[in-house]
Amino acid sequence: MRRPRVVDLFCGAGGFSLGFHAAGCHIQAAVDIDEDAGATFLRNFSRLQPRDGPRVIAGDDADLEQLDRGLVISDGPPDILIGGPPCQAFSTIGRAKLDSLSDEGFAGDPRNELYRVFVGAVAEWQPRVFVMENVPGMLSVEGRNAADEAAAELAGKGYEVGYAVLNAVWYGVPQFRNRLFIIGIRRDLGVRPAVPVATHRAVLPPGYMIPSRALQLSLPLVHHGELYAELDRASHQAVTTREALDDLPLLVDHLGGDPPPRPDFRRPLPYRRDPHSPYAEVMRGWPGLSGPDGIDDHAIRRTPRDYETFARMRPGDRYPEAIAIARQRLAEEIAALRALGKQLDEEQLATRIVPPYPVDVFIDKWRKLIPDQPSWTVTAHLSKDSYSHIHYDDAQKRAVSVREAARLQSFPDAYEFSGNMGDCFRQIGNAVPPLLAWAIASPLVELLGGQSSGPPL
């Protein structure tokens, strides 16, 4: 039985493709402008498909607006086209700075050239199925529902199309992460698209709530209609941060010495303990990737100023609490030095203890993970600043490592990332969580007559 062939446009590090591969697909080709992400993709899928690895086009050769699409599929069109074109006009971050849409609506917005590449590939290749991922901000762009317009345009290419906002936590990912998926099935197949039933239940915190009118819907996806997972059928509690991370090695070497030696970023480390959760077992035993003896990339940015503040923060604390703790530390240090009769340079002390960011601007710049709840969204901004995800263990006094960020995104431990630490954080934060992709892919593989393997959680 032939495995459905997949082409991944805007493939990034490969989270989307990894889920589709695990569900029973063959990855035919992948394209991304990010050279390091392309190297990560090739590195891992050469292992997953050693005899017939995908064609990976990355870096300067991957300009999709100029690329000859025939070079991507020289061996024939795919069964499934997937991708997440970066559409900045839809992001809720910086929305106030964006111009309004043109009079032509979504299709005429000049900022969405990369979306047009995806539409063009659908029109030219006519895959049996496509799945496009984007941010929920598509639902409301300057008062317009761009997701609805996109679905209508794609339906015009010969597809039954629908869209849904799904939260990764519903599918076993230890993270609250809303993403919008537009799914199309070619009309000659005679099937309307649907999204998978949720397997895990969780109360979504503020900021992640889906539109209230959509909560009442549990129907199959129809032509530019909305569908949300049937949460009442979920059989498992959401995976927590502790379940995701607690078997990984302790990191405390940053706390010794002045300054302590910086370890090799790629050094292998043994696991702290046997896996104590089904999630950890999946991360160690992903299909097609042999179970590692330990992990690498378990490295962090070193920020001595803040270690003690990290330790004193409570789970869930954000930057306002952190700055108050730092100021208390400063007061204690000043009092101790005065008690010893030492001269003080309070400005120098403040620089050594108190972070300089204004509280009213950076409320979420720092945040300490809550061990018995899922994480909040892992973003690409971790490449610039990982304080948004501070480890819950007071004794370790640090932000999350590259490998821990990968775990929170459901990348298995044997998945290897290319580039420096910032490159790795960026690739991880930009990815579609592989477990979420697996859940979406499984019913589509069955629809196309393949032998599907559903997610193990």
Active site (catalytic) residues: 87
Q: Kind and range of the H or E element at 422?
A: helix 421-430
CA distance 280 to 273: 11
CA distance 18 to 45: 8
Quick one: angle between helices 421-430 and 35-48, nearest 10? Answer: 70
CA distance 389 to 144: 33
The answer to whether 107 touches 156, Cβ cutoff 8 Å, is no
CA distance 183 to 275: 35
Helices (H), 341-387: 346-353
**What is the CB neighbour count within 10 angstroms for residue 233?**
11
CA distance 405 to 430: 11
**Strand ranges in 114-229 using DSSP code E only, listed in sequence order:** 129-134, 159-167, 178-186, 200-201
CA distance 297 to 247: 15
The answer to whether 20 touches 91, Cβ cutoff 8 Å, is no
The answer to whether 57 touches 37, Cβ cutoff 8 Å, is no
